[in-house]
Amino acid sequence: MKSIRQISRRDFLKTGGVFVVGVSLYGCGKEKIPGITQPRSTDPWAPDVYVSFEADGTAHIISHRSEMGQGIRTGLPAVLADEMEADWGRVKVVQAAGDAKYGNQNTDGSWSVRGFMQRMREAGATVRLMLEQAAANQWGVDPVECTAEFHTVVHQPSGRVLDFADLVAGAAELPVPGLEQLKFKTPDQFRYIGKGLPIVDLHDMTHGKAQYGADIRLPGMKYAAIARCPVLFGKVKSYDAEKTNALGGVEQIIEIPAAEAPPMFKAVGGVAVIASNSWAALHGRDLLSIEWEEGANSDYDSAAFRQALLDTVQQPGTPIRDQGDIAAAIESAQELVEAEYYAPHLAHAPMEPPVAVANVSADFCEIWAPVQDPQSLIPMAEAVTGLKPEQIRINVTLLGGAFGRKSKCDFVEEAVVLSKQTGAPVMVVWSREDDIRHDYYHSVSAQKLSASLDAQGAVTGWRHRVAYPSIMSTFDASISQPVSFEAGLGALNLPYDVANIRIETGAAPSKVRIGWLRSVCNIFQSFAVNSFSDEIAFARGKDSLENLLELIGPDRTLDLSEFGVELTENYPFETGRLRQVTELVAEKAGWGRELPKGHGLGIAAQYSFLSYVAAVVEVAIEDDGRWTVPRVDIAIDCGQYVNSDRVKAQQEGSVIFGLSLARDSEITAAGGRIQQGNFNDYRVLRIEMTPQTHVHLVESSAPPAGVGEPGVPPIAPALANAIFAASGRRYRELPLGGILAPGDDA
Amino acid sequence: MIKLTINGEAREYTGDGNMPLLWYLRDLLTLTGTKYGCGKGLCGACTVHLEGQAVRSCSVTMDRLDGASITTIEGLGAGGDHPLQIAWARHKVPQCGYCQSGQIMQAASMLATNPNPDDRQIDDAMSGVICRCGTYQRIRAAIKDASGATS
């Protein structure tokens, strides 16, 4: 991949070859700034260089976000290309290094399009305006008569045409226009936005040429595999490397000191085997004989922990939303509906396990890694090497899946530590077992829900207690209770029209590293809330859809700021949009249609990452308890979208991800050790369980919202509700397994 | 010494016979299109063809490969794109793309012996290859497309 050099205008005049437009998106226009490639803002959110041109007019557009399957390397560059009237065939997408000049690169939280679409449009409109001006100058005409069209500028009165290639030199001499001078395309003029462009990496991915972190090969590169203590924060007591040293290809054994709490993103430590190839490193590592001092976390036992969490939610917790008078509502209830839910730890298990390459010398540190947050590597590398930020370069490869795992740079630190010690480029390879046993786990959770119904069957009160180890415990060892941003993912921000609502959190210590996984706490909180809605429907003798729409209630804007639910500017929580996707998916799925014996339909709706999603799952249950999902309908309103095909692909993938965790996946610990290790015992969905998935995309002019995560939360509860519809049996614990155990009859 | 053919090219290997083919391809030949995913034959990311048959290269050791002929994803479309590679593009199958070499190699092996698989046959053949992004629906559609069957 060609890298973009940032060059000054003087360099441009010297080389004559490349024109770099630095587009500052903040504060420009107020002052005329010389040297268009100079960073003109100290705001770390302000991008500086997003686009440049070769002499032949080929545009290089920077992708500063990480590609992990969501299509962002195509999406954001296409926005810029569209707004500058580029011919997509003459665009090369260039992956940015980790550098604050590009603004936020932390690819997480379904945020890339929301955070950067407008900025890309501003960058593109800036370039277009400058090229139009350059053409006007060349022709000696009024620039308003000049219009960029598909990599050319056309003089409208005369029909004269100049290619972008003929304009870049002239444009390079122009001042950068201010934001107020920019004119934006109207949606009917979009060439790429809202369409379904194929991803730029498609050919490479189908020909074995796409380069992931694991595919980096450097001259003299060593491979390292690390034996880490099976219990978090355990230490090496002693080790014997005799067998390892006898293995051909093994070169060196290096002990890495154990990390201490809190985990942060620190390398956990262990014994590293350095070898000339991956297999010698991995096999040599397995041949080590190590005695561990396991430490305090060796008391972690999932069965006991499950019971402790379920006990916790029996008791009143810390109220984080207290609306009306829940005690009175429950006291005066005609009927009280109550249920408990449990969901286990999950591992991310991206198909490419963590991997990283570092090359540390006396005066430079270069890293190649599949990371979601490349800038976070810079302070880590500074701390390990003692080098300065300008002596550190972070190259971002493609990510072979991530789902949140590759936000955490523990595995990159290992590579930096080992490269520094060996003086050679080092790739740290993780086996699948390493990945499953040393993850930042999605949290294990217990929840208890209670709803009061009055004599007419109306829901008068809603109480939701949650208990799970907090993500924040990864950063602060003193935190042992869910925090409000976590509860805000599907519990605290309950959108139901109920007068008396109380949400409570309960204590839960962390015995493993806790992290965020695609859609985060929405996974279990949506499972509980949407399952419980369906339980209320049954108690009320109402149709599930009708009940859900009643709970969502009349269209209104929710303001839960008094309960600590932060409002995102321009993104009010509109319950009407949740209602609409619910109605849409029900209609498309044929809600109420006649079904074969053993089949059932279930529905769930969830607002997350500022998007509104509803799903209908059809389940088919055999007499022996085996079940399949013939069909899923999923409707999403994510506001304005960039790539219709990738939005659909993300929903198709979310259905699989949701069914995977609902059916198969579970991480458990015994004696502090994770009991799963590979895809035989940490199971994920395979092709034969794939439903016919229909994605229904809402056309919306609302600002762009999340796409990669919001499809996951409704799947597990819609499935559980479908199973109830088909069988009358209610399942409140995940995963369900491939054969339904005898469940609770309602 | 082990003599074998990789993508039509003669190769000689003199290292540890216990090394799995996967690492020989990836680390010694730098044919990195074949991916590691599990090391135990559980995920299919490392699928290549041994005498035209799909095998998990993580589970085939070098000492079994004297005289063998191997095709990897890099060699699949040697004479122009394989119909599956064309269908994969038409259906825009890949998301992260990491498992796709294995998916395509597995599917190519199936189509070589069964040019018109039905749904069940596709699922049976493809069950061993995991896609964590969940591109399965499009994998089915692309295979049917390449096989010429109507979907």
Maximum Cα interatomic distance, chain A, rounded to a whole number of Å: 84
Nearest-CA distance from B19 to chain A in Å?
A: 7
pLDDT tens string B48-82: 999 999 999 999 999 999 999 999 999 998 888 99
pLDDT tens string A379-429: 999 999 999 999 999 999 999 999 999 999 999 999 999 999 999 999 999
Q: Which residues have C-beta within 8 Å of that of residue A350, sequence separation ≥ 6?
A: A68, A399, A400, A401, A402, A403, A405, A406, A435, B96, B98, B132
Two tokens at B12?
Answer: 């000689």
Nearest-CA distance from B67 to chain A in Å?
A: 22
Query: φ and ψ at A262, to 5 degrees?
Result: -80, 160
pLDDT beyond 50 at A5: no
Over residues A11-23, mean pLDDT: 35
Do the Cβ atoms of A209 and B23 come within 8 Å?
A: no
Q: Where are the beta strands (DSSP E) in A177-326?
A: 222-227, 235-240, 250-256, 270-275, 289-293, 318-323
**Exposed e or buried b per residue across A41-51, where buried means at least 16 C-beta atoms within 10 angstroms of its C-beta:** beeeebbbbbb
Per-residue H/E/C for A705-723: CCCCCCCCCCHHHHHHHHH
Q: Which residues have C-beta within 8 Å of that of residue A324, sequence separation ≥ 6?
A: A461, A499, A500, A501
Contacts of B23 in chain A (CB under 8 A): 277-279
Over residues A168-177, mean pLDDT: 87
Which residue in A11, A48, A72 sits closest to A123, CA to CA? Answer: A48
Over residues A84-100, mean pLDDT: 96
Contact A466, A449 (CB under 8 A): no
The number of beta carbons lying within 10 Å of the beta carbon of residue A662 is 26
pLDDT tens string A351-375: 999 999 999 999 999 999 999 999 9
Which residue in B92, B128, B132 sits closest to B109, CA to CA? Answer: B128
Do the Cβ atoms of B132 and A350 come within 8 Å?
A: yes
pLDDT beyond 80 at A327: yes
Q: Where are the beta strands (DSSP E) in A520-626?
A: 557-558, 573-574, 599-608, 611-621
Residue A644's pLDDT is 98
pLDDT tens string B94-138: 999 999 999 999 999 999 999 999 999 999 999 999 999 999 999
pLDDT tens string A553-578: 999 999 999 998 888 889 999 999 99
Residue A746's pLDDT is 55
What is the Cα–Cα distance from A683 to B84, expressed in whole angstroms?
A: 28
- What are residue A63's DSSP bridge partners? A95
Instruction: Look up residue B62 and give its DSSP letter.
Output: G
**Strand A355-360 relative to strand A335-343: parallel, antiparallel, unpaired?**
unpaired
What is the Cα–Cα distance from A137 to A147, expressed in whole angstroms?
A: 13
* Of B78 and A607, the one with more pLDDT: A607
- Give pairs for A149-155: CB < 8 Å, separation 24+: A149/A85, A150/A85, A150/A86, A150/A87, A150/A191, A151/A57, A151/A85, A151/A86, A151/A87, A151/A90
Contact A46, A35 (CB under 8 A): no
Q: Which residues have C-beta within 8 Å of that of residue B143, sequence separation ≥ 6?
A: B84, B87, B107, B110, B111, B117, B122, B126
Residue A12's pLDDT is 29
What is the Cα–Cα distance from A266 to A269, expressed in whole angstroms?
A: 9
**Strand A365-369 relative to strand A673-674: parallel, antiparallel, unpaired?**
unpaired
Two tokens at A589?
Answer: 């799925």
pLDDT tens string A129-157: 999 999 999 999 999 999 999 999 999 99
pLDDT beyond 70 at A740: yes
Contact A647, A638 (CB under 8 A): yes
Contact A374, A105 (CB under 8 A): yes
Do the Cβ atoms of A279 and B20 come within 8 Å?
A: yes
pLDDT tens string A229-240: 999 999 999 999
What is the Cα–Cα distance from A167 to B77, expressed in whole angstroms?
A: 40
- What are residue A91's DSSP bridge partners? A59
Q: pLDDT-derived band of residue A723, with 50, 70 and 90 as boundaries? A: very high
Interface contact B15, partner A, CB < 8 A: yes
Do the Cβ atoms of B92 and A215 come within 8 Å?
A: no
Over residues A173-192, mean pLDDT: 93
Which residue in A47, A67, A56 sits closest to A6, CA to CA? Answer: A47
Over residues A610-622, mean pLDDT: 98
pLDDT beyond 90 at A606: yes
Q: pLDDT-derived band of residue A2, with 50, 70 and 90 as boundaries? A: very low
Contact A356, A438 (CB under 8 A): no
Do the Cβ atoms of A688 and B127 come within 8 Å?
A: yes
- What are residue B61's DSSP bridge partners? B20
DSSP letters spanning A569-598: TTB-EEHHHHHHHHHHHHHHHTTT----TT
Instruction: Look up residue A702 and give its DSSP letter.
Output: S
Q: Write the CATH number of the domain with boundaries A542-746.
A: 3.30.365.10
Over residues B75-94, mean pLDDT: 94
Topology match between the domains A9-202 and A213-295+348-437:
yes
pLDDT beyond 50 at A703: yes
Nearest-CA distance from B2 to chain A in Å?
A: 17
Q: Which residues have C-beta within 8 Å of that of residue A369, sequence separation ≥ 6?
A: A213, A355, A356, A357, A377, A394, A395, A396, A397, A409, A411, A412, A415
Residue B150's pLDDT is 36
Arch. (CATH architecture) of A9-202: 2-Layer Sandwich (3.30)
Given 3.30.365.10, 3.40.50.720, 3.40.50.620, 3.30.1600.10, which CATH number is that of A213-295+348-437? 3.30.365.10
pLDDT tens string A447-480: 999 999 999 999 999 999 999 999 999 999 999 9
Contact A355, A411 (CB under 8 A): yes
Do the Cβ atoms of B134 and A656 come within 8 Å?
A: yes
Contacts of A687 in chain B (CB under 8 A): 122-123, 126-127, 129, 131, 136, 139-140
Contact A475, A440 (CB under 8 A): no
Q: What is the mean pLDDT of chain A?
A: 92
What is the Cα–Cα distance from A395 to A100, expressed in whole angstroms?
A: 13
Two tokens at A77?
Answer: 């560059």
Residue A192's pLDDT is 98
Interface contact B78, partner A, CB < 8 A: no
Do the Cβ atoms of B95 and A352 come within 8 Å?
A: no
Please state the domain extents for chain A: 9-202, 213-295+348-437, 542-746
Using N-to-C axis directions, what is the helix angle for B83-90 and B136-147, rounded to 10°?
130
The domains found in chain B, sorted by start residue, are 2-76 (3.10.20.30), 83-147 (1.10.150.120)
Which residue in A694, A659, A638, A703 sits closest to A70, CA to CA? Answer: A638
Nearest-CB residue to B132 (from A249, A280, A351): A351
Two tokens at B84?
Answer: 């599956």
Over residues A254-283, mean pLDDT: 98
Nearest-CB residue to A679 (from B31, B43, B76): B43
pLDDT beyond 90 at A544: yes
